Amino acid sequence: MAHERTGAVTLGGNPVTLIGPELRVGDKAPDFALLTNDRRKAHLTDYKNKTCIITTVPSLDTGVCDLQTRFLNEEASKMGDDVAVLAISADLPFAQARWCKESNVEAITILSDHFDLSFGTAYGTYMKEQRLECRAVFVINQEGTIKYVEYVPEVTDHADYESALQVAKEVINKAGAAK
C-alpha cells in the first residue's frame, strides 16, 4: 500500500490525505506513465536531457488552475528547446484537449494522470478524498534530480511561481555552461 500523508495540505481549509512520498530537493525524480491529449503514453524519460518544470493542478477548469497553467504557458514560450514545461491533472485527456484549444495553450505539454494516478502516487500529489492532484511544482534537472519542490499548503492558493522559475533558470544556465 502506498504511503499516506494525512493533513499535509488542505483543500478549502479542510485537511486531505496525500498518497505517495513527500519528495525533496536532491531526490531522484521518479518515472511516471501519463496520457497525452491524444491518449498516447508519456514518461519522464521522454524528456531526458531537458530541464523539466512540472506543475500539478486539481483541474484545468477551475480559476486558480486555469491562471497557473496560462501563466506557465506564457513563461514557457520564452524558454528554449532545452526546457519542457509539463502541466498535470487528473482531468480526462478529452477535457484537457478542449481546454487547451479554448485557451490557446501550446507552449507547454498538458498530461492526464486520470488513468491510474501514476504521477500522483510517485510524487505524493494524489489527494485520496477527491481523486485529484494537489497543487505542486517540481523542477528537475537534465540528470533527473529534483532541484525544486513545492507542495502548496492550501490547494486553492497559487504556488510560488517566481521561486520555481528562478531555480529553473539557474538549472538551465548551469546546464548551458556545462555544454
Instruction: Give tens-digit pLDDT for 31-62.
Output: 999 999 999 999 999 998 899 999 999 999 99
**Torsion angles phi and psi, residue 90, rounded to 5:** -90, 10
The Cα 127–Cα 21 span in angstroms is: 12
Residue among 88, 92, 86, 60 nearest 73 (CA): 86
The Cα 48–Cα 104 span in angstroms is: 26
Specify the DSSP class assigned to residue 30. P
pLDDT at 179 over 70: no
pLDDT at 85 over 60: yes
The reply to whether 65 belongs to the active site is: yes
- Would you say 94 and 4 are in contact if contact means Cβ atoms under 8 Å apart? no
3 state DSSP class of 4: strand
Q: What is the mean pLDDT of residues 120-132?
A: 97
Among the listed residues 52, 65, 100, 134, the single catalytic one is: 65
pLDDT at 77 over 60: yes
The Cα 52–Cα 29 span in angstroms is: 10
User: Which three cell numbers, joined as nine digits, stand for 37?
Assistant: 491529449
Residue-level pLDDT at 94? 95
Instruction: Give tens-digit pLDDT for 97-109.
Output: 999 999 999 999 9
Q: Has this prediction a pTM greater than 0.75?
A: yes
Q: Residue 144: left if φ>0, alpha if ψ -120 to 50, beta else—which one?
A: left
Q: What is the mean pLDDT of the chain?
A: 94
Residue-level pLDDT at 81? 87
Residue-level pLDDT at 1? 54
**Where is 88: in which H helix or E strand?**
strand 83-89
User: Which three cell numbers, joined as nine digits, stand for 19?
Assistant: 498518497
